[in-house]
Amino acid sequence: MSLIEIILISAGLAMDAFGVSIGKGLTMPVGENGRKVTLAFLFGLFQFLMPLIGWLIGRQFIDVIADWDHWIIFGLRGYLGIAMIREGLSDDDEDDDKTFLGVWEMMMLSVATSLDAMAVGLTFAFLPINVWEASATIGVITFGISLVGIYLGKFMGRFVGKYADIIGGGVLILIGTKILLQHLGIIE
């Protein structure tokens, strides 16, 4: 897997955190820089940890499912991509944007926005990839994108979060399809 693909996956995975960051940035007071950086850091930290957990789980089953790994990668990334696109197209607005954001709430948001990263980490178990570098890239890019989202939240409005999910989902589907087509020998 190339660095460009890892960066694209990282950006795709960061879109959930970006959407939440924009929503939270809308409601956070201007002077709460520490809380803003903490939220972005937690998003990045969990996006770093979850692929490692998924990779560890996947390594336990690599011998059993090695013949179907490309289908698993395609299925998981496709499912995650479709779920992100559906979420982006949904008319549901989160009502919790107006609530106080304490450490516990930040942790829960970080876990919720990084579960898809665990599934991507599971796919890493079947690919020739340095999982530490890939996870670090995912974490750093998520931190940066989340921080931008938090600070731009006041200016961008809620609609951007929906488009971020749609774009991120599309990226995951495209990369999963590319991996499948490579394993099937259709493309190099």
pLDDT for position 92: 64
The per-residue pLDDT for range 46-81, each reduced to its tens digit, is 999 999 999 999 888 877 776 777 787 788 778 877
Is it the case that residue 154 has pLDDT exceeding 80?
no
Per the CB < 8 A criterion, the answer to whether 121 and 131 are in contact is yes
In sign, the C-alpha dihedral spanning 149, 154, 156, 159 is positive
The per-residue pLDDT for range 105-116, each reduced to its tens digit, is 788 878 878 878
In sign, the C-alpha dihedral spanning 161, 14, 150, 107 is positive
pLDDT for position 97: 43
The b/e string for 109-148 (b: 16+ C-beta within 10 A; e otherwise) is: bbeebbebbbbbbbbbbbbebebeebbbbbbebbbbbbbb
Verdict on whether the full-model pTM lies above 0.85: no
